[in-house]
Amino acid sequence: MSSRPGGSAPASFQTGFPIRPDRLVEARTPDDVREAVAYAAERGLRVTAHATGHGLPGAVEGGVLVVTRALDSVTVDPVARTATIGAGATWGAVTAAAAPHGLAPLNGSSPSVGAVSYTLGGGLGILARQFGYAADHVRALEVVTADGVPRRVTPEREPELFWGLRGGGGRLGVVTSLEIGLVAVERLYGGSIAFDGERAAEVAARYLEWTRSVPESLTSSLAALPYPDLPQVPEERRGRYVVSVRVAFTGDAAEGERLVAPLRAIGPALEDSFREMPYPESPTIHNDPPFPHAYYGEGLMLRGLDAERAARVLELTGPGAPTMNVVQLNHLGGASAERPRVASAVPYRDAGFLLRLLSPLDGTDVPSVRSLYREVSGVLGPLVQGRAANFCFGGGDRTAGFHEPETAKRLAGLVSQFDPAGLFGGPYEG
């Protein structure tokens, strides 16, 4: 274990918030995590865990920062169709390890996201409508709780903690590894189709209509963003406001072509990348930026969405907005709406869509972004059920709405039992 005063911050994908802990611990083994938690508990210091830093909730000021990046082991059992993954493993590494066995994890769109933290927040991935949330496929967790005790948590051992850790986020301890179920997916039909943003409202309306008829084996999203006029941006998108639809479908290519035909019928496309691909190439569907940057974000779980409200949201967040914004609308339902055999704390199962807003912070003040998000939320009104914790980037300033009141109350009971001193952040709010 490397432990030192927290003067030098670890590298983080999120660069928008300062990281200034009192002590920085770079864990190389689960026992290092145990020692770090015990050290913090003895001194009444708050503990924050940090893997890749994609979902950093905000500034880290004081306390003990436990960097789990070195705990990056990935072991696949092809017979049991499981993977055991360390707290620092990324989805790219898990996907690469599973693929030779014809298996895949329930990963998100970016291969550089930490697999464990993503899953603890629920884990809404590119195959969510067919297989549900990643949290529902967890078989066991290794976690260090606030008393410094390492625990193996399963449905049979610590069932209430097993419920809360899956979807409750990281406020019940530092998870050092997960055993997860894998799915038998070797290839996909998928990609994206992009249109000029001047047609954003029309594309959104056609997309919403299209989602009413697609099968659960197809998971999709709509995205809208202005691209900078820079040489590294593809020429067809350079300097333009672009709206696109992304698709991941596990059926055969011929059926995939039939399903995306209504999207192609929308009209001339700037780009059409639909194709059959090996599963490890699935990150090309979204092409998330691979480089660290500063950003702030919101994730709103919606009961549904109509074309009029969608058009207004795109108008507020488009090229005329006071800040640059990336908008993504994820189509939910299917398996993501089903209650798993072993219940978890994943909230808002009946949501029809997830609206994700992301705003780069370079040269932008956070209050103006918050103001815009409040305006968007006002447009959506009663359609908003709550927030998606995994997508409230910089969300440490917004602690309410991540769970339904009854779920939050149950999670608060777990905090009282396992972390009464609030070492990992204190109570949950409904």
The pLDDT value given to residue 426: 65
Task: State the DSSP H helix or E strand holding residue 134, giving kind and residue range, or none if neither.
Answer: none
Question: What integer is the mean pLDDT of 4-10?
Answer: 62
State pLDDT tens for residues 118-177. Answer: 999 999 999 999 999 999 999 999 999 999 999 999 999 999 999 999 999 888 999 999
The pLDDT value given to residue 166: 97
Confidence class for position 378, pLDDT limits 50, 70, 90:
very high
Q: Are strands 187-196 and 241-249 parallel, antiparallel or unpaired?
A: antiparallel
Q: Is a pLDDT exceeding 80 seen at residue 396?
A: no
The pLDDT value given to residue 220: 98
What is the length of the chain? 430
Alpha-carbon torsion (12, 48, 120, 34), positive or negative: positive
Interior angle at CA 179, CA 177 and CA 182, nearest 5: 135
Report how far Cα 43 is from the mean position of its chain's Cα atoms: 33
**CB contact set of 100 (below 8 Å; sequence gap of 6+):** none
State the residue for tokens 């009209």.
Answer: 267
Spatial CA neighbour of 187 closest among 93, 102, 106, 272: 102
State the residue for tokens 């209504």.
Answer: 262
Specify the higher pLDDT residue, 17 or 274.
274
The pLDDT value given to residue 8: 61
Task: State the DSSP H helix or E strand holding residue 209, giving kind and residue range, or none if neither.
Answer: helix 200-211
First-last CA distance in the chain? 37
Rounded distance between C-alpha atoms, residue 284 and residue 277, angstroms:
10
Q: To the nearest whole number, what is the mean pLDDT of the chain?
A: 93
Question: What integer is the mean pLDDT of 241-259?
Answer: 98
Long-range Cβ contacts of 206-214 (<8 Å, 24+ apart): 206/262, 206/263, 206/266, 207/245, 207/263, 207/329, 208/305, 208/306, 208/307, 208/310, 209/307, 210/262, 210/263, 211/331, 214/259, 214/331
Long-range Cβ contacts of 287-290 (<8 Å, 24+ apart): 287/192, 288/109, 288/110, 290/110, 290/112
Specify the higher pLDDT residue, 87 or 52.
87
Q: Are 20 and 61 in contact (CB under 8 A)?
A: yes
* Packing angle, helices 253-264 and 200-211, rounded to 10: 140
Instruction: Tell me the sheet residues that pair with 187.
Output: 278
Q: Are strands 326-331 and 353-360 parallel, antiparallel or unpaired?
A: antiparallel
Question: What integer is the mean pLDDT of 64-82?
Answer: 97
Q: Is a pLDDT exceeding 60 seen at residue 217?
A: yes
Spatial CA neighbour of 394 closest among 312, 324, 297, 302: 297
Spatial CA neighbour of 228 closest among 150, 280, 293, 178: 293
State the residue for tokens 């905000």.
Answer: 58
The pLDDT value given to residue 234: 78
Question: What would the two tokens of residue 352 be?
Answer: 């029809």
State pLDDT tens for residues 251-278. Answer: 999 999 999 999 999 999 999 999 999 9
Question: What integer is the mean pLDDT of 292-318?
Answer: 96
CA within 13 Å, CB half, 28: 3
Q: Is a pLDDT exceeding 70 seen at residue 62?
A: yes
Confidence class for position 206, pLDDT limits 50, 70, 90:
very high
Confidence class for position 10, pLDDT limits 50, 70, 90:
confident
